[in-house]
Each structure stands twice: as structure tokens, then as C-alpha cells.
Structure 1
């Protein structure tokens, strides 16, 4: 199924219409909650944020061209941040991404550190930004106007002494020896005195400080992040419509079955996006042949996520070959 998804994403990104939406170099990621059955071997958990029924999350990466190039099934109660790098490092489309957007639930200092070390520009939309503190190498040298915003001093010696282990950890992620989320969860679970986890946290504090400064000064960065996250939210709406006419739950009772259900739903959404992208492009070509206005600035705001013209009820058949 992963191979089929990669083929659809690659085909959609090659369509002329997709070029108006982006170059496949930015992406957003977010978790979407799905209700599940209470019975079965799958560990379905209750997250009070979503009500009193058990469920799971589908954590999906969506490119600037609207393609959902990666999705994972994760427990409803876990922190989403460790799973960001799985979609970026374990797919070809993810490795082309330069800017990655996420909501508040998608950031930790460890994620800031590792994304920077891997060359990704991580741009989360942080809730309660004024309450976040800045970390400096020399807090005493900061202007007096900023004293109230300084959270402390960066522990540079810890970073220096653990630098070889930091590089080995990052190389392990790049090599695909294990999912990056597995390593990040271990770092998050370590006690504070574990030096490697502390060193990554200190790097993350530096990167988070630089990001906050850039965010406050760069209105275009804020706009890009908002556009990227809006595409992810619109993608969630399409999946909500596809899951048995908007009112079904994930009834698979095994973890494997739930995974295949969510992967199939993501593939179906990608196929609809491909179909819409292709036919929107054909409509644009016909308008141009008729010498009608098709401004690129307007085409950039068209979305391939509509489903009003698609019959959502019925039977989906996947022929075996």
C-alpha cells in the first residue's frame, strides 16, 4: 500500500496544475482523531479532549501540493511531536521537504534540535507564545528590555562533550535503522540527568530561541505556516467525509487491521486528490484555449480537496493483481 501511495503522490505532483500550489518543498503534519470499537486486541484509548469514547489518531503529512505522502496510526493520548520525522525521513516525498509546519502539539525542544541537525526548517505554530522563554549563551549580555523573557543559559559544555553521540543518533535516524519516533520517545522518557537527552534539549532551546525571533519578525513565515496548516485541516475534512459517509468508526479490532484501514483511507484520499488535480488542470487548459482569464495568482488558491461531485456511498473494490 505504501508503494501505491508513493506512485499516486508522484503522479499528482507531476501534473501541471500541482505546480501552482507549490514545489513539494513544504509540508504540514497533524493528528486526526477517529472513534474506534472498545473490543479487540488494539489498545484504543480515551482522550478527554475528544470526548469519552476510545479512539486513535492518524498522524498525516500533507505537502504544499496537497498530497498526503505519509500517515501513521498512533494512540490517541500520545504526544505527536516524535512522529514528525518519520514522515520526513522514511518517504521520498518527505526527504524533499525543506520547511515543515506543525501545531503546538507537534513541537518539543528535541524535535527542534533534530530537525535543525537534519537540515529541515521546523516552523510550529506555538500556542501561548508570549509565555515561552529565550535561552542565551550569555544571558548577562542581553538588553535590559529582554531580561523578563530570558529563561536561562545554554549549557554549551554538555553539547560539546556529547557531540559525537548526537551525530551518531542523527545518522541512525537518517539510515533508517529504526523509526526516528522511537529514538525521540526514548530521549523524552530519559531522566533529566541523561546527558545525551540534555544535550539535545539544549540544542533545541537554541533553535527554538532563534525560531521565536524569526517568527516575530517575519510576517511571511507566519503566512506560509498558516497556509500549510490550513491545507492539513482541509485534508482532515476530506477524510471525515470518506469514512463511511461521515458517521462511521474504525471497527477493526486488531492493531494491524486499524493500520491498514487508515492507510487505505489515506490512499483513497490521495487518489481523489490526483483525480481532482488532473481534471482541474484540464478545465484550466480549456479556459485558456477559449482565451479566458486564468491568472496564476488565482489558480494558486484553488483546492483539489472537494468531494461534492464524488459518490461517497457504495462499495470500493481493490482488484488483486
Structure 2
């Protein structure tokens, strides 16, 4: 039982601004040394990622969550965490003028976080946006993401092409929309009335010449030889003479033109993208309530530790989202059984991102003793599976 409490404490220490000593003071029966040891255990590769997937899957199966989406769409965005200036990943946040690092998260239309990753501020986020979807879609036992909504920082023309090649749509909410142009081939006849919003800077020849090289990049990502983040770095502006870059750039221009036509003319499509991004912003507010301060100066100096901070923070957020969804579903069912009319349209506009009713600080009690038999059986099953 002490080991389990230490694991819970380590999760809180990684996912909040409170250090091991502070968490030990909040949970009776453990000390700071036990918490520190458990924190190292959570840095094991893939452990927190799998825990996040399990909690997000549980939350998505609650009946109320079916009103929010089907699980095949998501949004992705970054939030910043204040850190020490001495960390290798620290950069100055241009808005708040403090040293910070980025935590990039993918939020499902059902509100659960399905992918998280620490990133450097002030860099294009298109690579990590695509990587999160690719990692999620590799599993055979979950619904594949077909659409990812991002802001301007999460897209480039090459990223649009790369995402399409990986079988999903990257849909950006673009800044300065009034200044955006539709890219057309030189021989294309422009319909009357839209000449001012078009530019003939799309080369079909560049797409044809670089197509094979572009397919090799896609294949390398799909089989796991390189990450989408690395591929986007290789397809960056410094590679303009590369055939694969030219093909991705011009294909992306074509895809962006098609997307802008849909975005401007189809109101439901535009509203869906804005809804996904708004849900992501609501989740960011919850994340800031969970991690309300600065990462302690001795933390985050190793890549594994920074990944654990990101994963633990996402897991705590997912736990709150799942708990809120579960309680909201209980209330809805109880009211309906009592004869209260609750329309599905109302439920679609609700969300589990609230936190005003939760006290994130204080003495914590987990009541582990009530589940000791189930925990022992689960541990025995895990040991038998490992020995098999």
C-alpha cells in the first residue's frame, strides 16, 4: 500500500509545481525519499503514455461523452510552463517575458488528452502536431483520427501535404485570413469575381518531379524510421532545393486552397474547427489550475524527466476530465429518471473542463484499503503475465 501511495504522490509531484517534500507533507504515511524514488520509476518510457490512453478511453466510453463527438477528431495546441532559465529546453515566452517550456497536447472531440510532448517555445509546431496523430493512429484497437484542428503555429504548407499523405486532414484556423490567397496553376482559368484572392504560384510539375521522394518520406514515417517532427525539420525552408520539399510545398498549397474554400463557404465545417479549438483552450485552463506555478529549478534537467512532467500533467488533467464526465453523467441520468426533460442539444454544449469545485491543495486521502483485494489480484495477474 505504501508503494501505491508513493506512486500517487510521484504523479502529483511530476504533474504539479509542488516538489517531493511538499507532496509528502500532503499525504500521511510517506516521506520525501519514497516520493523521489517513485518519481524516477514514472520516468520509464511509455508508462505514463499508456496510463493516459487508458483514462482517455474510459472517459470516452461514458454515455455522456457520446454527445461530444465520435472520437475521430481532435485539436492540438501548446501551453507554456514557467521553468528555470538554466534548463536546456527553456526559452523566453514572448507574451509573458519569462523563461518557459512548451507542453503540446492533442485533445479529442470527447475532451480526453491522447498525446502529450514537451517542446521548445518559438518553434513551428506542425511536426509535433502530425506526430501525435501518427502515434495515436498506429494502434489497431482504437478509432483513428481523421481531422486535426490547429492554429497558425501548427501548420505549414508542407505539413498539410504530409498529413494528407498519412491519411488525415490538418485543418488550421489561420491568422490574417483576409490576406490569404488561393494558389492556382498557371494554366488554370480563374473564375470571374475571385481574381483578387488568387495567385498563380502552384506548380504541378514540381509535385510530379518530387512525388517519389515525397512518398519515401511518408513511408519512413509510417514504418517508424523517422518521426514526423524530424521529417518536418528536413522539409523546412532550408530544404527549398530538395525535390521532396518542393512537392510537399506545392501540394500543400493546393490542399490549403481547397481547405480555405470549404472553411469560408461551409458554416458547419468552420464551426466544428472552432469548437475543437475552444475545447482545447478549456483544457489548457484546467491544466494551468493543476500546474499553477513554476517547475522547481532542480527539475526537468533530463529529457526523461521533462517527458515525465508532461505525461504526469496530462494524466492528472485526464483524471479530472474523466471524473467530471462520470459525475455529470450520473446527474443527467438521475434527473431523467426523475422526469426532468434534458435535451441532447444541451448536453452537446456542456463540457467537463470545470475545476472550481476541486481543491488541488491540502491533505490528500486515497482510501486504498477499500480496494486492497482487487489491487492484490491485479498485481498477481501482472506477475503471472510477466512470467509467462
Q: Which residue of 2 aligns with 1:107?
A: 155
- SS for the counterpart of 1:162 is helix
Larger of the two Rg values belongs to structure:
2
- What does residue 85 of structure 1 align with? 130
Contact kept in structure 2, 1:97 and 1:120, CA below 8 Å: yes
Q: Which residue of 2 aligns with 1:30?
A: 77
Deviations 1:53-108 (A, max 9, x none): 21111111100000011111001121111211111011258861112111111110
Q: Which of 91, 114, 121 is 1:45 aligned to?
A: 91
Deviations 1:144-177 (A, max 9, x none): 4333322224221221122222122112222222
Alignment partners' CA distance in 2, 1:315 and 1:265 = 20
Of residues 92-101 and 154-163 in structure 1, the stretch that sits farther from structure 2 once superposed is: 92-101
Q: For the residues of structure 2 that align with 1:250 and 1:108, how far apart are their CA atoms?
A: 34
Secondary structure, in 3 states, of the residue corresponding to 1:127?
Answer: coil
Select which of 355, 358, 381 maps to 1:307: 355
Q: Distance in 2 between matches of 1:53 and 1:112?
A: 32
How far 1:237 sits from its partner (Å)? 0.2
What is the distance in 1 between the residues matched to 2:76 and 2:157? 17
| Structure 1 position 143 matched with structure 2 position 191 | yes
Measure, in 1, the Cα distance between the counterparts of 2:124 and 2:143: 23
SS in 1 for 2:208: helix
Displacement of 1:51 after TM fit? Answer: 2.7
CA distance in 2, matches of 1:317, 1:3: 25
Where does the alignment leave 5 or more consecutive residues of structure 2 unmatched?
Answer: 1-47, 369-374, 380-388
Q: State how many pairs are aligned.
A: 317
Once residues 167 and 214 of structure 1 are traced to their aligned partners in structure 2, the CA distance between those partners, rounded to angstroms, is 26
Deviations 1:215-244, CA, capped at 9 Å, x for gaps: 11111111111111110000000010001x
C-alpha contact (below 8 Å) 1:12/1:67 kept by paired residues:
yes
Partner residue, 1:235: 283
Rounded Cα–Cα distance in structure 2 between residues aligned with 1:55 and 1:200: 32
Displacement after TM superposition at 1:4 (Å): 0.7
158-167 vs 289-298, which deviates more? 158-167
- For the residues of structure 2 that align with 1:100 and 1:19, how far apart are their CA atoms? 19
1:7 equivalent to 2:16? Answer no
2:306 corresponds to: 258
Tell me, yes or no, if the aligned pair for 2:65 and 2:110 is still in contact at 8 Å. yes
What are structure 1's unaligned runs of at least 5 residues?
none
Structure 1 window deviating more from structure 2 (121-130 vs 223-232): it is: 121-130
1:211 aligned residue: 259
Tell me which of 63, 71, 76 is aligned to 2:121: 76
CA offset digits 1:193-223 (Å, max 9, x no partner): 1111011100000001111111111111111
Alignment match, 1:63: 108
How does the TM-score come out when normalised to structure 2?
0.77
**Contact 2:83/2:294, CA 8 A, preserved across alignment:** no
Distance in 1 (alpha carbons) for counterparts of 2:115 and 2:220: 20
TM-score by length of 1: 0.92
- Quick one: distance in 2 between partners of 1:250 and 1:65? 32
Give the C-alpha shift of residue 315 in structure 1. Answer: 6.6
Moved more, 167-176 or 209-218: 167-176
Q: Which of 296-305 and 151-160 deviates more? A: 151-160
Name which of structure 1's ranges 187-196 and 66-75 shifts more when overlaid on structure 2.
187-196
Contact 1:89 1:95 in 2 (8 A): no
Asked if 1 retains the 8 angstrom alpha-carbon contact of 2:89 and 2:119, the reply is: no
How far has the Cα of 1:190 moved from its partner?
A: 3.1
> Which secondary structure state, in structure 2, belongs to the residue aligned with residue 59 of structure 1?
strand
Moved over 6 A (4+): 315-321
In the alignment, the residues of structure 1 paired with residue 86 and residue 197 of structure 2 have an alpha-carbon distance, to the nearest angstrom, of: 49
